[in-house]
A and B are shown apart, each in its own frame.
Chain A
């Protein structure tokens, strides 16, 4: 794909619909310009919400509160299981309760800069300004955030910020926020405004006259296919980190819903922007099925180091300070251990690549609490991080109070996702995308404690306003279940399942997924280069062809069949993975989580190329992306303008 075929946002396909002018009033002015649906008419509209994490549950609840009829879908057995639940550290909000100089403007600035200038300014400003409402809403729901003795809310600092703006509930903030949103959702179930469909997996989008009008799902218990139609479809289906097989995502996280919509016409933006989280528990062996993150709040008190001598065979505690290299503190004086995730991850990789890694595999660095325990006492450390220390001990069998933790980066979050405009609408009218599944707010790197903020901002405070405009201005005739487009989508989904079951090859789904993950991690992980990416494209295409000829899927389609579920997801990852690699190949610069070895400074820092790549890369499905056949997706570019936070080289050194 050369840039010669690219279409700029001048084309009608990529209208951001972001207002212009004073950034501080853009959202207010935009809300005023949006058409409203009058209260009595809201009950005439049916909205489909796929995914019940922070974004999906908050959207479904808020829309039902407004009076819309909502159907909410999740593949888990309950909406409360969505992987937002695993977020640990906290949620940012520009409350300035700490009186330390925070403001909406500073949160906006930090987020744009932290994202390495690849996010849309208008969206980020809106996110920062609604952040304060989110905390209010969650507290009102009974979310038991940490408080000080006076009874008011406590805050802590987090990677990538120099103010304390992070609200938290132990190390289980995501759980508490999700249970808050879940309770709001279940209240609407109680009131009859939301119908809940658990253990359903979305397998296709139903489009009628080019407008999103419904979805096809498979009932995972009975295997039956169901079509559900409505007036708008919201995807809140999370990120695609599991394309790497090993990630901190839940096992069920997948790209299928997004990818199916992509194949129906929704552009996929910046898939190569993937976040590698620095503080994860290292891989212990070939059996590893997932990686476990430990909140980066640990970096507030833990110090990251490796031995100065790569052959130092002493145990960690026997190595004196003079023989330790606290490499983050050494390289980044101003931020020290609190540099953003991408910077911390690459520094750890560099230390290990140069032979300084520790532990059996040499793919780990120390995260040491010795000095904090000496200063504050073990009880204080336990109070702050007790559950994380316990989790570490369970998984590794080692006691982090007496031995430094070993950590290594792992795939954690994906900034890329379906392209959306300022209204969160994709390139398919009537199809909206919220939370991690969209691409809009974090640019090339997400700051800690900002994912929860974005998911809830989208669901509670953006989509309830923007969706009304679509409903009020579109012609949406009722669609019956036997409409040819509905039947066609159902038949296509069925045919795919039949095909998967019919291959009857000799290689398991799991082994394909692991093989894909290995290619992705080695060639398109923390560091990427042209040769590796080209190799990966070929390898993925070969693996995909083998999959469709040799996969063995057990059982039948008319029953609870987890092997079949996994097969469908891996099939989509095998297509999507190649696009991700191709996007990484096309983006000839380093920015945020995307590090191209060809583009770095003399100090091994990421080197952006603003002249050529200050844009969101949005890919249009044009019949398949395949290195074997030479098919490519079509690239569209949305230029990004920085009028308020001026383009500068990100530096966390001084």
Chain B
């Protein structure tokens, strides 16, 4: 981490003072950035510099900085979470970039995720989709012994692979239609694969899809950008399952939906 390895970079960052204000790109020169820094630590350094020159720091969402909370959310050179696969912005490190690079940093781009300020967006639409059925209706105290219902290991692992979704919204930001199908399919799949999800299976999928449409997310046209951008490696096969579940719900389900 000697200074001789330090990177000199040009950042073009979207600055927007508020939800209704006009935004613009501003350019910042960064000197001698350690390749061992994370991308967000590089922005921390920028913000410290801005404070010294009395410019307001760049607002961006972040929290755990270990790739699991789903709060960080940057378009980096046009890619959601930047160039590395299966990696959130906070886990991206500067050794991925070269001396002299220009890096363009934008917020998630989707109508359903309005900008709050600079790089921070409002993703409450995702919470509203979960509210519309992304759960099992079981009150505390209702549960039977955990081993009463065996779940085959392959089924459990598929369910877990879908449940790994961190709710960051990269799938939406990466999609040319700003579709939330991967996000919705992850929760629908997790619960559809488990016996615990069975009683509300049809109602869940129809309500969640209805809420998704209401929030203004686009439709899926199978370009798979979502899967490529997903830091939790949620597979598009879940979207296929979502479609099956939806069809099953509206065509053959005995549940009143």
Contact = CB atoms under 8 A, between A and B. Distances in A.
Contact of B126 (A78, A287, A508): A78
A81 B69 contact: yes
B257 interface: no
Interface string A75-87: 0111111010110
Contacts of B152: 147, 149, 151
Nearest to A289: B41
Contacts of B140: 58, 61-62, 65, 137, 184, 460-461, 464
Contacts, number: 227
A141 B135 contact: yes
A397 interface: yes
Nearest to A80: B167
B143 to A, nearest CB: 4
A84 B207 CA distance: 28
B146 interface: yes
Main secondary structure of the interface of B (DSSP, over half): loop
B238 interface: no
B146 A144 contact: no
Nearest to B135: A183
A250 B63 contact: yes
A144 B190 contact: yes
A138 to B, nearest CB: 8
Contact of B34 (A61, A285, A552): A285
A136 B146 CA distance: 4
Contact of B194 (A58, A144, A508): A144
Nearest to A97: B147
Interface string B74-87: 00000000001011
A189 interface: yes
A562 B120 CA distance: 11
Given A136-B143, A251-B62, A77 B71 contact: yes
B156 A144 contact: yes
Given A76-B71, A149-B153, A287-B34, A251 B63 contact: yes
B193 to A, nearest CB: 8
B215 to A, nearest CB: 14
A198 B156 contact: no
Nearest to B44: A289
Interface stretch (B157-165, B216-224, B241-249): B157-165
Contact of A562 (B18, B57, B190): B57
Nearest to B67: A391
Interface string B107-137: 0000000001100101110110011111111
A153 B147 CA distance: 7
Interface stretch (A11-19, A171-179, A255-263, A366-374): A171-179
A647 interface: no
B147 A559 contact: no
Given A76-B63, A141-B138, A395-B91, A250 B69 contact: yes
A221 B41 CA distance: 23
Given A144-B156, A554-B57, A172 B146 contact: no
A86 B66 contact: yes
A150 interface: yes
Nearest to B144: A136
Interface string A497-514: 000000000001011000
What is the size category of the interface that chain A forms with chain B?
Answer: 35 or more
A544 to B, nearest CB: 20
B56 A555 contact: yes
Nearest to B194: A142
Contacts of B138: 137, 140-141, 184
A390 B88 CA distance: 13
Interface in A370-407: 390-391, 394-395, 397
Contact of A81 (B1, B71, B157, B163): B71
A284 interface: yes
A248 B164 CA distance: 21
Contacts of B59: 560, 562
A221 B71 contact: no
A334 interface: no
Given A85-B68, A187-B135, A554-B57, A394 B41 contact: no
Nearest to A174: B68
Interface string B85-97: 0110001010100
A285 B1 contact: yes
A186 interface: yes
B65 A78 contact: no
B10 interface: no
Contacts of A148: 153
A554 B56 contact: yes
B241 to A, nearest CB: 15
B186 to A, nearest CB: 11
Given A140-B143, A153-B146, A290-B65, A187 B137 contact: yes
A142 B195 CA distance: 8
Contacts of B150: 147, 150-152
A147 B153 contact: yes
Contact of A95 (B1, B61, B146): B146
A417 B235 CA distance: 41
A363 interface: no
Contact of A85 (B1, B47, B69, B135): B69
Contacts of B164: 170, 172, 175
Interface string A545-574: 000000010110001101100000000000
Given A190-B132, A397-B95, 12 more contacts: A76-B71, A80-B70, A81-B71, A86-B66, A142-B159, A142-B196, A144-B159, A147-B156, A153-B146, A198-B124, A284-B1, A287-B41
The 8 closest A-B pairs by CB, nearest first: A151-B150, A183-B135, A140-B143, A136-B143, A144-B160, A139-B146, A62-B140, A250-B63
Interface of B: 1, 17-18, 34, 36-38, 40-41, 44-45, 47-48, 51-52, 54, 56-57, 59, 61-71, 84, 86-87, 91, 93, 95, 116-117, 120, 122-124, 126-127, 130-147, 149-153, 156-157, 159-160, 163-164, 166-167, 190-191, 194, 196-197
6 contacts: A62-B140, A78-B124, A140-B136, A184-B135, A187-B137, A290-B65
